């Protein structure tokens, strides 16, 4: 199970001020991307509570605490702060209640304050944690943003993936990763990025490694992108039947971390401009997204022509 420490999440964040706890307290581990707004817990109901979650206090929680007697706070807060809870975040500039602060100091527990509104804090924490704790995998290939779509180009070693990527970058598209793509799932999307050691780099056989950001400018690269399409490059086999009209077979896809990503198999042979073909594949995908299917239109034209010829005869 992936995890992140409180220190890595909030320790150096400018919007959050640490109120209690020392460096050891910041080593607490977070293993879930969900947060807890502890309404039932403040009322004393702890059954089914998931103590692995970050606790967030907003206006309602602070108003409820203000109505609690000091004796009741001393009874509830020690149950709220245990070894499983990573930390507490108090929003909208509210002061940390004295009893809560005393219990936290006694147990070396981290509490943070922020001026941010509760909704913004909740969204930021969950989005960040979802990304940091997401399931991930590694895929070999080149990843680019082409006409706004995230496209992974796969194929056998030496088939020319990096050379195609270089040509596409020259044509104004954006490089995300070459050779290896780190993929992780965020909700119902797959996001890809380059491993840190390979960021911005492109390997061209016969030349070596080039830094795309320095050669073409910082605007030629992206840190990460959603994956919308996988293009599988295959060496041309004359005996194999390839898609020509576009309706010969059902759409294919590839399963990546439980998400089906549309996939296209493109044969590679001398004389074919692969960068132009890949651009066309992406533009055709965008047209399909808005309901325009050229393959179906072609079939409809043929059928209409057949009907017309029948009527004339």
CATH homologous superfamily, domain 136-298: P-loop containing nucleotide triphosphate hydrolases (3.40.50.300)
Annotated binding residue 161: yes
Mean local confidence (pLDDT), 216-235 = 94
* Residue 242 in this model has a pLDDT that exceeds 60: no
- List alpha helices for the chain, DSSP H: 6, 39-42, 59-67, 70-80, 98-107, 118-132, 161-170, 212-216, 274-289, 294-312
Range from 91-100, 181-190, 211-220, 263-272 carrying the lowest mean pLDDT = 263-272
- pLDDT per residue over 50-109, tens digit each? 999 999 999 999 999 999 999 999 999 999 999 999 999 999 999 999 999 999 999 999
Residue 242 class from Cβ within 10 Å (0-12 exposed, 13-18 middle, 19+ buried)?
exposed
Task: Report which DSSP code applies to 26.
Answer: G
- What is the pLDDT at residue 287? 87
| 162 annotated binding-site participant | yes
Does the annotation flag 203 for ligand binding?
A: yes
pLDDT band, very low/low/confident/very high, at 245 (cuts 50, 70, 90): very low
Q: List the catalytic residues.
A: 140, 161, 179
Sequence spans of domains, the chain = 4-132, 136-298
Please give the average per-residue pLDDT across 232-261, as a whole number: 75
Decide: pTM greater than 0.85.
no
Q: Thinking of the domain 4-132, which architecture would CATH place it in?
A: 3-Layer(aba) Sandwich (3.40)
């Amino acid at each position: 199970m992936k995890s992140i420490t409180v220190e890595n999440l909030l320790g150096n964040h400018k919007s959050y001020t640490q109120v209690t706890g020392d460096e050891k307290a910041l080593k607490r581990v977070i293993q879930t991307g969900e947060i807890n707004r502890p309404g039932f817990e403040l009322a004393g109901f702890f059954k089914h509570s998931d103590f692995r979650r970050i606790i967030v206090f907003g206006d309602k929680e602070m108003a409820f605490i203000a109505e609690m007697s000091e004796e009741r706070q001393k009874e509830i807060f020690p149950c709220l702060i245990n070894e499983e809870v990573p930390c507490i975040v108090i929003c909208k500039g509210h002061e940390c209640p004295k009893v809560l602060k005393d219990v936290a100091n006694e147990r070396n527990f981290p509490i943070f304050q922020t001026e941010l509104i509760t909704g913004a804090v909740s969204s930021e924490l969950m989005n960040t944690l979802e990304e940091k704790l997401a399931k991930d995998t590694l895929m070999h290939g080149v990843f680019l943003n082409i006409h706004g779509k995230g496209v992974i180009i796969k194929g056998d070693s030496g088939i020319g993936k990096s050379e195609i990527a270089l040509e596409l970058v020259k044509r104004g598209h954006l490089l995300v990763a070459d050779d290896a793509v780190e993929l992780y799932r965020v909700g119902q999307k797959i996001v890809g990025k380059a491993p840190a050691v390979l960021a911005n780099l492109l390997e061209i056989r016969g030349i070596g490694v080039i830094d795309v950001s320095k050669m073409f400018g910082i605007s030629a690269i992206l840190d990460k992108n959603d994956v919308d399409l996988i293009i599988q490059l295959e060496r041309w086999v004359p005996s194999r039947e390839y898609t020509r009209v576009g309706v010969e077979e059902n759409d294919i896809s590839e399963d990546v971390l439980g998400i089906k990503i549309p996939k296209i198999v493109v044969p590679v042979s001398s004389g074919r401009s692969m960068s132009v073909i890949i651009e066309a594949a992406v533009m055709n995908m965008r047209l399909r997204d808005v309901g325009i299917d050229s393959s179906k239109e072609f079939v409809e034209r043929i059928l209409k022509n057949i009907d017309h010829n029948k009527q004339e005869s």
